[in-house]
Amino acid sequence: MNRAAELSQDATRVSPLHDRHVAAGAKFAPFGGWSMPLEYAGAGVLAEHHAVRSAVGIFDVSHLGKARVSGPGAAEFVNRCLTADLGKLVPGQAQYTLICTDEGGVVDDLVAYLVRPEEVFLIPNAANGAQVVQLLRAAAPADVTVIDEHDAHAVLAVQGPHADSVLGGAGLPSGHAYMSFVLAENAGAPVIVCRTGYTGERGYELVTPSAAAPALWDALRVAGEPYGMQPAGLGARDTLRTEMGYPLHGQDLSPSITPVQARLGWAVGWGKETFFGATALRAEKAAGPARLLRGLKAVGRGIPRPGMTVLDADGEPAGVVTSGTFSPTLKTGIALALLRPDLTEGAPVAVEVRRRSEGFVVTKPPFVSAGVREP
């Protein structure tokens, strides 16, 4: 999900579903060392976006990293490294969390699946998976192993109001609690079905062995036909997550942007004894950050893009856009931006768009209503 850093020019990996995407007329883009679908012929980003919001979409996100930490006390070890408190989970639950530098910057944001006290499965971002594995290996006790399983698994995401019906039609479990997962099977292959996603809609991410991914994709496509399910690419994934205010590593999070600045304190177990970057983050929280990540919504026709300067009401530089796009749902420009702390919700600002000053208002994300946590 590191869009800025991951759009490299030397994509060398392809998804186990590459042939399916070619057959569906996908337009590909290099992303984190992988060639992944950006959008599909006959649809495009806007149609794919609307399908997820109103019906259901299916994404191939096999470029995401995968790693397994196992051994005596594996969960306790992971909990001493990552920010969120894994000790609050029971096996079968997942958690959004962060791995930070000693200075408090974000190396990556990831999802941790607590399989059992002796086993944690991690899904980091595509470009950062190897670094996450390296950092955990360096800190692990001798009896805890950290294995990079990036190529061993495929990850599919079914997102949208009809996601449950699609999974049911494919013979897979659905309806379990948000951020919990169930072990299932498709065509004789194991599938982890986790109630989560990156779109803000009710949905699921499914992890299966790479060799089994085509059969799972086909089963889901057949089950999704009655509901108008649309394959969706990374373009729609980006507009959907921006409407929700979800951060993207490499833009809204980075080694130079801390969880405190990104307003992700809820993903930090402040009461834990330790985690990577704990001292620096606790000091920053106590002192107050010099900048905060907030939302911006256009009052005119301006479409913000990353790197554009934000000006306060006096025309003085007050921050920078980290993510920006046209919202297909709201039909206006929206953004995430690192701003001075005094610029709170409702404050009028301007963004320098193509040498013009376009009006925006500071807005608290999400920009659209969310169904991700609905029972």
For residue 202, give its domain range.
3-62+151-244
DSSP state of 163: H
195: domain CATH number?
A: 3.30.1360.120
Q: Considering only 101-105, 256-260, 352-356, which range has the smallest mean pLDDT?
A: 352-356
Distance CA 333, CA 185 (A): 42
Residues 94 and 125 in one domain: yes
Q: 231 and 162 in one domain?
A: yes
pLDDT tens digits for range 313-324: 999 999 999 999
Quick one: 178 and 229 in the same domain? yes
Percentage above 90 pLDDT, the chain: 93
Examine the domain organization and report whether 93 and 232 are in the same domain: no
Pairing of strands 34-40, 13-14: parallel
Question: What single string gives the DSSP state of each residue in 216-237?
Answer: HHHHHHHHHGGGT-EEE-HHHH
- How many C-beta neighbours within 10 Å does residue 131 have? 15
Number of domains in the chain: 3
What average pLDDT does range 229-241 have in this prediction? 98
What average pLDDT score do residues 137-160 get?
A: 98
Q: Are residues 237 and 156 in the same domain?
A: yes
Mean pLDDT, the chain, rounded, equals 95
Domain ends where: 226, 244, 262? 244
Confidence of residue 87 (pLDDT cuts 50, 70, 90): very high
From 81, 69, 1, select the one nearest 268 (Cα to Cα).
81
Tell me what pLDDT residue 6 has. Answer: 39
Q: What is the pLDDT of residue 355?
A: 85
Tokens of 97: 């969390």
Buried b (16+ CB within 10 A) or exposed e, 196-205: bbbbbbbbbb
In this structure, the answer to whether residues 158 and 196 fall within a common structural domain is: yes
Q: What is the side-by-side order of every strand in the sheet holding 181-186?
A: 181-186, 189-194, 203-209, 153-159, 57-60, 230-232
Same domain? 87 vs 206: no
Helix 234-244 and helix 45-54: axis angle, to 10°?
A: 50
Provide the strand spans (E) within 195-347.
Answer: 203-209, 230-232, 292-298, 309-311, 317-327, 332-339
> Computed over its alpha carbons, how large is the radius of gyration of the chain?
20
Q: What is the mean pLDDT of residues 160-168?
A: 98
- Alpha-carbon torsion (44, 50, 53, 57), positive or negative: negative
The last residue of a domain, from among 91, 122, 148: 148
Asked whether 150 and 129 are in contact (CB, 8 A), the reply is yes
158's enclosing H/E stretch is strand 153-159
Across 163-167, average pLDDT: 98
Q: Do 101 and 127 lie in a common domain?
A: yes
Hey, what's the torsion of the CAs at 297, 159, 195, 149, to 10 degrees? Answer: -100
Which pair of tokens denotes residue 128?
A: 């950062």
Residues 55 and 155 in one domain: yes
Using alpha carbons, select from 168, 158, 167 the residue that is nearest to residue 205. 158
Count Cβ atoms within 10 A of the Cβ of residue 173 and give its class: 0-12 exposed, 13-18 middle, 19 or more buried.
Answer: middle
For residue 94, the surrounding DSSP H or E stretch is strand 93-100
- Report pLDDT for 12: 76
Contact 153, 121 (CB under 8 A): no
Q: What is the pLDDT of residues 76-86, one digit of tens each?
A: 999 999 999 99
21 belongs to a structural domain? yes
The pair of three-digit structure tokens given for residue 341, joined into one six-digit string = 């702390």
| Of 95, 125, 148, the domain-final residue | 148
Q: Count of residues for the chain?
A: 375
pTM to 2 decimal places: 0.94
On whether both 56 and 182 belong to a single domain, the answer is yes
Are residues 55 and 161 both part of a single domain?
yes
pLDDT of residue 341 exceeding 90, the answer is yes
> 146: part of which helix (H) or strand (E)?
strand 145-148
Q: What is the pLDDT of residue 354?
A: 86
Structure tokens at 242: 């921006």
Under DSSP, is residue 102 helix (H, G, I), strand (E, B) or coil? coil
Q: Tell me the per-residue pLDDT of 2-20, one tens digit each, with 9 for 90 and over.
A: 443 333 344 479 999 999 9
Contact in structure between 33 and 13 (CB atoms under 8 Å): yes
Over range 223-251, report the average pLDDT. 98
**Of 351, 164, 335, nearest in space to 241 by CA:** 335
In 3D space, the residue among 271, 258, 245 whose CA is nearest the CA of residue 98 turns out to be: 258
pLDDT of residue 169: 98
The residue to which tokens 């013009």 are assigned: 356
Q: Which residue has the tokens 């919001």?
A: 53
